[in-house]
Amino acid sequence: MKTPNIRDVIVFSRIVGAALLVCGYLLAGLFIGRYFLDRGYPQWTLPLCLLAGLIGALLSGVRELKSILAMIRCGRRNQ
């Protein structure tokens, strides 16, 4: 069995971290929207909060993927 390179482990952990960050934004939008609904806000508040969470998740996901791809490209140039 081949031992994984430390760079591979770092890239894998950053990908898993980015996925968890995206899920966190979506869940935050859901919970904030439900909180507002329980407080008596209009029905459109939940979809609006979910949409805001989705936009935040997409922006942070794209930023993370760009940094991961830059790290991979930089590693290939040095080899």
Structure tokens at 5: 């390179």
Distances (CA, A) of 35 to 21, 26, 45, 55: 21, 14, 10, 19
Query: pLDDT of 54-68, one tens digit each?
Result: 999 999 999 999 998
Query: pLDDT of 34-53, one tens digit each?
Result: 999 999 999 999 999 999 99
Contact 18, 61 (CB under 8 A): yes
pTM: 0.78
Best CA proximity match to 18, nearest among 64, 67, 49: 64
| Element holding 50 (H helix, E strand) | helix 45-78
| Unique residue bearing structure tokens 């890239």 | 11
Taking 70 as the threshold, does the pLDDT of residue 10 lie above it?
A: yes
Instruction: Tell me the helix, strand and coil percentages in the chain, rounded to 5.
Output: 85, 0, 15
Taking 60 as the threshold, does the pLDDT of residue 79 lie above it?
A: no
